[in-house]
Amino acid sequence: MKLNKYISILMLFTGMVLTSCLGDLDQYPRIDKTPKDVYTSVENYEMALAKVYGSFVLAGQNKGGGNEDIKGSRGFDYMRCYFNLQEVGTDEVAMIWHASDGQTELSYLSWDATDPWVFDMYYRIYYTIALCNEFLRYANESAIGDFSNNEQATILQMAYEARFLRALAYSHALDLFRNVPFVTENDPIGTYIPPRYTAQQIFDYIESELKEIENQLPDRLNVVYPRVGRGAANTLLAKIYLNAEVYGCGDRYTDCITVCKKVIDEGYTLEPEYKKLFNADNDKRTNEIILGFSVDSQNSVSWGASTYIVCGQCSATFGMELGVKSSWEMYRARSPIVDLYGSGDGRNLFYTEDRPQVIASLDDPNSGYFYMKWSNLTDAGSMANEVDGVCTDLPLFRLADVYLMFAEAFLRGGQGTDRTTAVSYVNSMRARAYGNESGNIDVAALTLDFILNERVRELSLEMVRRTDLVRYDYFTTDKHIWEWKGGIPDGRAVDSKYNIYPIPYAELTANPNLYNENY
pLDDT of residue 63: 63
Beta-bridge mates of residue 95: 331
Domain ranges of the chain: 10-216+500-510
Mean pLDDT for the stretch of residues 498-515? 97
DSSP 333: B
Neighbours of 153 (CB within 10 A): 12
Comparing C-alpha atoms, which of 301, 355, 351, 293 is closest to residue 322? 351
**513: which DSSP letter?**
T
DSSP structure string for 412-425: TT--S--HHHHHHH
- 301-357: pLDDT as tens digits: 788 899 999 999 999 999 999 999 989 999 999 999 999 999 999 999 999 999 999
For 148-279, strand residue ranges (E) read: 180-181, 196-197
Q: Are 21 and 195 in contact (CB under 8 A)?
A: no
User: Looking at the DSSP assignment, which residues form a beta bridge with residue 383?
Assistant: 377
Pairing assessment for the beta strands 17-19 and 30-32 based on DSSP bridges: antiparallel
Ranking 26-40, 135-149, 489-503 by mean pLDDT, the lowest is: 26-40
Return the amino acid letter for 382. Answer: S
Fold category of 10-216+500-510 in CATH: 1.25.40
Residue 268 contacts residue 290 (beta carbons within 8 Å): yes
**Of 264, 442, 277, 474, nearest to 375 (Cα)?**
277
- Contacts of residue 269, defined as CB under 8 A and 6 or more positions apart, other chains included, come to 287, 288, 399
Separation of alpha carbons 338 and 353, rounded Å: 14
Res 62: pLDDT: 62
What number is the average pLDDT over the span 55-73? 74
Q: Is the CA virtual torsion 387, 391, 392, 394 positive or negative?
A: positive
> Residue 34: what pLDDT?
77
CB 395 within 8 A of CB 275: no
Band (pLDDT 50/70/90 cuts) for residue 60 is confident
Q: Which helix (H) or strand (E) holds 92?
A: none
Compute CA 465 distance to the chain's CA centroid, rounded to the nearest angstrom.
11
Asked whether the bond before 226 is cis by omega within 30 degrees of 0, the reply is yes
Instruction: Summarize pLDDT for 412-448 with one digit per residue, the tens.
Output: 999 999 999 999 999 999 999 999 999 999 999 999 9
Give yes or no for a contact between 10 and 126, defined as CB atoms under 8 angstroms apart: yes
What's the mean per-residue pLDDT of the chain? 91
